[in-house]
Amino acid sequence: MILENQSKNKKILLFIFAIFLIVGVFLSLYSSVIFQEGNPWPQIKSITQLTFGRSDIVKLSSSDNEYLTKNKGGWDVIDSFLVNKGYEFIEQMGSGYFYKSSDSNIVMTRHQYSRFYVIWTITENNNSSKNDNDLWTTTTNDQGITFQYPKEILAKYISETEWPPVIKIETGTYSCKTTPMEVSSMSEITSQRLVDDKTYCVNVKHEGAAGSVYSSYVYTTPQKGKLIKVSFMLRYSNCSNYDQTQNQACTNEREAFDVDGITDRIVQTIR
């Protein structure tokens, strides 16, 4: 009898030891993911609610303006969530998504929490016009051209290098000699793009340095017999330099980043 109890106790101890060993290995391998937001309990609690509950979106208990969704289908979920609250999607600027209701505006940004979940941050602004808030500013250049541009582009892995944009208005006939696919390269590409109802000739030059890529943009579009040129430079972090979680977040941000939309929005403000 005593031997049976000892054998049973050994099995229990081995089982407990195995559990601690598995948990230790798991934490050592995925600690950067689990603790990327600091205390992981709010995220773990929300993931449990998403997995076993009926809701597709859960508010994080640690924040008043952060929500968790699954990565797959997350955009449709958060968009429906805001529409049901009376908000209407306006536009995307960089990695920010702008919504408005009858009495307020909000800007929403996202970041990845592992490969499977997304944390959405919703910031409300009660100003009646997005251009009147702190995101956009008005300037007049040496040519006497007045325009508006965003002070920041709402991105974590993309930053402004030559900013604000340089605006020029020139005489001339619009033409766009695009780079053929068979001779195009990553260093310089010229393409023609349609953004809303405007046609742009876009020249992009890429240069790598110290784990980043610097991209110089020149957007040219015809308007009222003139040519409007918008030029600027952005710095893109090399996503492959990060661990798996940040790599995915960096890649997702780059895919969602709407540089055409930002440029077109600036052009619309030129006076």
* Radius of gyration, CA atoms only, the chain: 25
Residues 6+ apart with CB under 8 A from 80: none
d(CA 151, CA 134): 8
Lowest mean pLDDT among 38-47, 71-80, 165-174, 189-198: 38-47
In whole angstroms, what is the distance from residue 187 CA to residue 206 CA? Answer: 5
pLDDT tens for each residue of 125-143: 654 444 445 678 999 998 8
Predicted structure pTM score = 0.63
Q: How confident is the model at residue 186, as a pLDDT?
A: 63
pLDDT tens sequence across 59-74: 887 677 889 998 888 8
Please give the mean pLDDT across all residues of the chain: 81
Which range, of 65-69, 128-132, 179-183, 216-220, averages the lowest pLDDT? 128-132
pLDDT-above-90 percentage for the chain? 34
User: Can you tell me the mean pLDDT for 19-30?
Assistant: 49
Residue ranges of domains in the chain, CATH in brackets: 35-130 (3.30.310), 135-268 (2.60.120)
DSSP string, 140-209: E-TTS-EEEEES----SSEEEEEEEEEEEEEES-----PPPGGG--SSEEEEEEEETTEEEEEEEEEEEE
Per DSSP, the three-state class of 234 is strand
Residue with tokens 């600091």: 38
Residue 182: pLDDT over 70? no
